[in-house]
Amino acid sequence: MKKLKILVVLLSIIILLASTVITSYADAMLLGDANLNSELDITDVTLIQRDLANLTPLSVQQIYAADANDDGYLAITDATIIQKCLAKIISPKYRDLDNDDALNLPFVPAK
């Protein structure tokens, strides 16, 4: 019975994450948006995981956008942050595109 309750809770979380979408503002980059569609959803998590597993590499621009904690590296932490945003545990971060000198700097993804 306890296992059934745990399973129901886990399935509820998965359904919540799969149905949640966070949208971006104009002139701001939504951090974690790996597929560059100005929305944050479970697809972005999957793309980051596939890149980190060397299954489907992201472009440099996608990696820059996918860096959800804005630390200059792409890691599993970024996928976890997106999941927390989708579960409304934390708020997503945005990068101001008008005042971001970092856009002109080279970005080195970490694996």
| Binding residues for Ca ion (CB under 5 A) | 33, 35, 37, 39, 44, 67, 69, 71, 73, 78
Residue among 86, 80, 76, 82 nearest 32 (CA): 82
Closest distance of CB 93 from Ca ion, Å:
10
Mark out the alpha helices in 1-98 (DSSP H runs): 2-19, 42-52, 60-66, 76-86
The nearer residue to Ca ion, 73 or 107, going by C-beta atoms, is 73
Closest distance of CB 100 from Ca ion, Å:
16
List C-alpha distances in Å: 55 to 24, 37, 109.
Answer: 27, 21, 15
Closest distance of CB 74 from Ca ion, Å:
6
The nearer residue to Ca ion, 9 or 27, going by C-beta atoms, is 27
